[in-house]
């Protein structure tokens, strides 16, 4: 079974994966480090754009821009 994935779908999936990763880091910090929720949320809010910036394949915002 072969799927035809467009470039737009690839970008949407990468964006979704970055959001899931940022959410997982926020949840992990809140639970494991016993941080106050507002600090974990602040770190998670910074991590999402930071993950996009670190992706060299991003042309609009990131190291590849």
Q: Is there a domain that residue 4 lies in? A: no
Q: What pLDDT score was predicted for residue 65?
A: 61
CA angle 64-9-18, nearest 5°? 55
Q: Is there a domain that residue 57 lies in? A: yes
Which residues neighbour 19 within 8 Å (Cβ) at sequence distance 6 or greater? 48
Q: Which domain holds residue 37?
A: 16-65
Q: Is there a domain that residue 35 lies in? A: yes
pLDDT single digits (tens) 3-24: 888 988 888 898 898 889 888 8
CA dist., res. 49 & res. 21, Å (int): 11
Q: Is there a domain that residue 45 lies in? A: yes
CA dist., res. 54 & res. 40, Å (int): 20
Number of independent structural domains in the chain: 1
pLDDT single digits (tens) 27-62: 888 888 888 878 888 888 888 888 888 877 777 776
Q: Is there a domain that residue 52 lies in? A: yes
CA dist., res. 39 & res. 51, Å (int): 18
Q: Is there a domain that residue 31 lies in? A: yes
Q: Is there a domain that residue 32 lies in? A: yes
């Amino acid at each position: 079974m072969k799927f035809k994935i467009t470039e737009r779908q690839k970008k949407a999936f990468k964006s979704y994966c970055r959001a899931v990763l940022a959410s997982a880091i926020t949840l992990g910090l809140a639970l494991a480090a016993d941080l106050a929720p507002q600090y974990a949320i602040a770190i998670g809010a910074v991590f999402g754009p930071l993950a996009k910036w670190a992706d060299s394949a991003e042309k609009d915002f990131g190291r590849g821009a």
